[in-house]
Structure 1
Amino acid sequence: MSAIVLSLLNSVPVQSWTFEPEGVVRIGRATDNQVVLFSAVVSRHHAELRWHEVNGWQLVNISANGTYVEGEAIKEIAVANGMVIRLATSGPKIQIAVKT
């Protein structure tokens, strides 16, 4: 699984990470996250990508600022290849690629 941060202006990739299918990948502003994003609207611990043997990757919002998919706030959602998430209503966009 890989996560790619997209530029807010033109959706061009500006940073990327790759992860093995296991455990939890934390996303947020704090440096103890696997994906660290420096933005005022991103919470210290904003969202998690959780691996489930049966269901695959799940995206879970853990921030009061919200995590959005296609403009809709989510609590938990199955990760689809190529999906774009937004951290907070005006925060960075992240595209998630899932290799099968």
Structure 2
Amino acid sequence: MITIILLHPQHSTPIQSWSFKNESIIRIGRATDNHVVLYSAVVSRHHAELRQLKNEWKIISLGANGTFIEDRRLTESVSVDDGVILRLAKSGPMVQIRFDTVSWQQGDEMTTHKL
């Protein structure tokens, strides 16, 4: 299972999560046809794609504003490690990638915030 966790922009605490068990491709972006939809002006309609290849996941940046890991813009597909934090655009939302985890819980509440 892979879980994508949207982090609060100032506190880096989880505010929403999406878990997938049987998907080999997960699309992230602003358009409603993505698996993970993020409403932010700096996020492209189809911003990034996670692809499962054998026993690993790779991230592919598709957005005009770029996808970043540790302030480095991705220029090719990159293997994703458990716990990595991706930033969609230089000043955009941050998401954390987790593998084989139980869905994020805090009580049973999750709120959606417009970024």
TM-score (norm 2): 0.82
Deviation at 1:98, TM superposition (A): 1.3
More strand as a share of residues: 1
Runs of at least 5 residues in structure 1 that lack an aligned partner in the other structure: none
> What CA deviation, in whole Å up to 9, does each residue of 1:46-87 have, x standing for no partner?
00000111x411011011110000000013110100000000
- How large is the RMSD of aligned CA atoms in angstroms? 1.3
Deviation at 1:22, TM superposition (A): 3.7
Which consecutive segments of 4 or more residues in structure 1 shift more than 6 A? none
AA of the residue aligned to 1:34: H
Identity %, equivalent residues? 51
Deviation at 1:21, TM superposition (A): 5.1
The aligned residue for residue 5 of structure 1 is 6
The aligned residue for residue 107 of structure 2 is none
AA of the residue aligned to 2:71: G
Aligned length: 99
The aligned residue for residue 27 of structure 1 is 28
Whole-Å separation in 1 of the counterparts to 2:16 and 2:29: 14
Runs of at least 5 residues in structure 2 that lack an aligned partner in the other structure: 102-115
- Whether the 8 Å CA contact 1:21–1:51 is kept in 2: the answer is no
Deviation at 1:99, TM superposition (A): 2.0
**Which of the pair has more CA radius of gyration?**
2
The aligned residue for residue 97 of structure 1 is 98
